[in-house]
Amino acid sequence: MRVVKEINDKACKITVFSWNGKYLIKLEQGPFEQTYKVSEMDVLEQEIDEILSPEFIAECLERFQQMGETLSGALSKL
């Protein structure tokens, strides 16, 4: 597995890997992570920045918030 790029944004950490014919776009925030797999046949390495647009990041951050709410709801039922 090769690290293609790392972005340490204030809101989340983004790491892009190249592995097994795919780019793995991994976003991490606190205890949560999201991973998106994109075929290397569909995207050039230099196009990854276009995928990581402000809109894409904003939607991922919203998803992190939803993940936190889901986990909190599940833990409150214990």
- The pLDDT of residue 23 is 98
Torsion of CA 26, 54, 5, 48, to 10 degrees: 90
The predicted-structure confidence for 16-66, as pLDDT tens digits, reads as follows 999 999 999 999 999 999 999 999 999 999 999 999 999 999 999 999 999
Q: How confident is the model at residue 10 (pLDDT cuts 50, 70, 90)?
A: confident
- Give me the residue label for tokens 């340490």: 8
pTM of the model: 0.91
Helices of type H across the chain: 48-51, 54-76
Nearest to 21 by CA among 48, 46, 40, 49: 40
